[in-house]
Structure 1
Amino acid sequence: MLETAILAAFLAFCRIGACFLFLPGLGSARVPAQVRLFVAVGASLALLAHLWEAIVPHVSRQPQTMLVLIGSELLIGALIGLVARFYVLALQFIGAAMAMMMGYGMAGGGVAVEENEPQPEVATLISFSALLLLFVFDFHHAIIQALVASYRLAPVDALFNPQSALVDLSDTLSAAFFVMIRLGSPFVAYAILVNLAIGFINKLTPQIPIYFISLPFVIAGGLMLLYFGIGTFLRLFADGFFPTTIGG
């Protein structure tokens, strides 16, 4: 009985731990690996009581069978985590594009919230605010509910389906980027109009370096647009998370 419980707990940890590895926020480079490990172990042990009947009947003492189940559980958990992470990666993409359109493209880059890579400060602020808003709205609870429901939709003995996983990932990626393009459309229109006006002025007065003169005004206009639109931007981002990822 003890051996069966240990194997069942390890199978639960494979799916839940793989999901937490890619989950936005918990899977961030800012969170130490020990913290992520302990959170995954704690969540696995807490959910094992609810998932006992879904996992224990499929536990086997055959090494070959257990290796196949472990690999399948790791891939299923990674799929659930990647679906949520793609939505945040799309936000980082549109945040960097918005910073470039506002005139911060050549500014000194900060550090991204999720990754150890340079990112404009405006994009970092947008990413951090959106991620904080998701935690305020308890998105991690919804992910845990999705993990519990995944044992009904994708049982342990059903194994991982690569074709279905690729379809889910491609649909999520497409829907996430469509949402982000719509959210960043005011800044796209602002960049087109401003650069068009600057180009016309530069043609009229080629002796004056219009680009360097106009850069502070471009940044000021972009900051004003961000000030008046950031509330709606974050609200629409949070509203689109569940339908695009686990709710879709």
Structure 2
Amino acid sequence: MGLTAVTQSFVLAAFLAFCRVGACFMLMPGLSSIRLPLQIRLFTAVAVTVGLLAFLWDKIYPFVDTRPSIFVPMIVSELLVGGLIGAMTRLYMEALRFMGAGIAMLIGYGGAGGPAIEEPEPQAALAALISFSALLLLFALNFHHEVIRALISSYNVAPVNVFFSAQASLVDVTDTISEAFLLVLRLGSPFVAYAILVNLAIGFVNKLTPQIPIYFISLPFVIAGGLILFYFAIPTLLSLFGDGFVETTLAR
């Protein structure tokens, strides 16, 4: 009977760890993509859970309680904590995806949407290039290691025996959205300035020569100038985006 109780507690402790890890991986960029088969995502979450369980045993096992009135709220809390960590990284990538679509529109290259690489929704080719390049850069910089490190550290901030704090989580989400969108706005500011200047110049030319269809004549030059600016700006844009990932999302 004692052995059965120990085995049951072990399984429940592993399941609690899997709830936090699996919820995080379900929302984080890259691993949550529909391009990745569901079995691979599931086995990755199970493998990481098993690998981390030895380090998190003292923080999970002593608080396991088999009573449904206590264990069910613990499951809900673990899912919410893990989902919050994954959502932080997702919001950061969504901010860049938003700015990528804005850059494509500002330089006149955001007409018909094409198939996105990571997401199922149609996306402008330039926006897909920016978001996918940023995702590759984050993986090259081992951002998935930072996510796992954040999962381990989260047991100090949000222990298993303490229920999920909605107020503190909303504050973290709000701060992350604010900082992420301010960051990508600074990264996209050269394209905003370019769009304002070039459209202002085209408007003046159109006023001077209203008989010329200036839109159709100027569009190739606007796109060409925007792509040249993009060619010189993309290394700095991706570098600053990668540098701001940890302090904007996981440092909380």
Range class of TM-score, shorter chain: over 0.9
Amino acid corresponding to residue 42 of structure 1 in structure 2: A
Rounded Cα–Cα distance in structure 2 between residues aligned with 1:247 and 1:77: 15
C-alpha contact 2:179 2:248 (8 A) present in aligned 1? yes
Rounded Cα–Cα distance in structure 2 between residues aligned with 1:227 and 1:177: 22
Partner residue of 1:199?
A: 203
Rounded Cα–Cα distance in structure 2 between residues aligned with 1:113 and 1:11: 33
Query: 171, 175, 180: which one pairs with 2:175?
Result: 171
The answer to whether residue 235 in structure 2 is matched with residue 218 in structure 1 is no
Partner residue of 1:33?
A: 38
Rounded Cα–Cα distance in structure 1 between residues aligned with 2:207 and 2:32: 49
The answer to whether residue 233 in structure 2 is matched with residue 229 in structure 1 is yes
Deviation at 1:166, TM superposition (A): 0.4
Partner residue of 1:19?
A: 24
Partner residue of 2:56?
A: 51
Rounded Cα–Cα distance in structure 1 between residues aligned with 2:66 and 2:103: 54
Deviation at 1:247, TM superposition (A): 1.7
Aligned length, in residue pairs: 247
Q: RMSD of the alignment, in Å?
A: 0.8
Deviation at 1:219, TM superposition (A): 0.4
Alignment of 1:53-202 (within 5 A): 53-106=58-111, 108-202=112-206
Q: Percent identity between the aligned chains?
A: 61
Misfit runs of 4+, over 6 Å: none
TM-score of the superposition, structure 2-length normalised? 0.96
Partner residue of 1:244?
A: 248
Query: Which 5+ residue runs of structure 2 have no aligned equivalent?
Result: 1-5
Deviation at 1:158, TM superposition (A): 1.1
Rounded Cα–Cα distance in structure 2 between residues aligned with 1:129 and 1:222: 18
